[in-house]
Chain A
Amino acid sequence: GEDVEQSLFLSVREGDSSVINCTYTDSSSTYLYWYKQEPGAGLQLLTYIFSNMDMKQDQRLTVLLNKKDKHLSLRIADTQTGDSAIYFCAELNQAGTALIFGKGTTLSVSS
């Protein structure tokens, strides 16, 4: 079945780059997603990448996809304290009816 794996914690200093990694199992995934959860809130779609792309850049965010290794990463440049949150990697289930989430990576940014 589908499975999405992430490391659980990442700690960085303000101004550094953050890289959050994810591996997934379903090679048929058309899109892969990153969601962000701020403290006490629900999840919000942050960005996504189409499976035929290697990279997508959106302001401070860069998504890299290695389809051969089924590895997805999210790079946040110039990390700010406001970026402190839980970041979830996600893919659609095989039926295409709902999202399957990883366990989430808690990003802690210190000043």
Chain B
Amino acid sequence: NAGVTQTPKFQVLKTGQSMTLQCAQDMNHNSMYWYRQDPGMGLRLIYYSASEGTTDKGEVPNGYNVSRLNKREFSLRLESAAPSQTSVYFCASSKRPDEAFFGQGTRLTVV
């Protein structure tokens, strides 16, 4: 029972490089989310998707794009990485918005 799977677990990027963070869930949840976690800042919502085919901005969407490829997968893309995007990124999914199941996180460093 995998739950929410994120890849990669770790990544180092140079400023200006692009990359896509992958997330997949096997719980048949409609809603999926991307959060970033920074020291002293807690978790902040980047984007969310209430259902397949829909995406909405969260609190900190600038510099990111998302794709809800199908019900299972929700990817987060950084087109031109900046040092301010160094963070731990968490994907989550839920049947109800309040009971979210989180992945293990992707630790991203932009140098």
Contact = CB atoms under 8 A, between A and B. Distances in A.
A92 B40 contact: no
Given A42-B104, A43-B90, A99 B42 contact: no
B contact residues, range: 20 to 34
Contacts, number: 56
A45 interface: yes
A101 B41 CA distance: 9
A96 B97 CA distance: 7
Interface of A: 4, 8, 31, 33, 40-45, 48, 88, 90, 92-93, 96-104
A98 to B, nearest CB: 5
6 pairs of A and B residues whose beta carbons are closest in the complex? A42-B102, A103-B42, A101-B43, A43-B102, A101-B42, A98-B48
B21 interface: no
Interface of B: 4, 31, 33, 35, 40-45, 48, 50, 56, 58, 90, 92, 97-100, 102-105
14 contacts: A4-B42, A33-B98, A40-B104, A41-B105, A42-B4, A42-B90, A42-B92, A43-B100, A92-B97, A92-B98, A97-B50, A98-B58, A101-B42, A102-B42
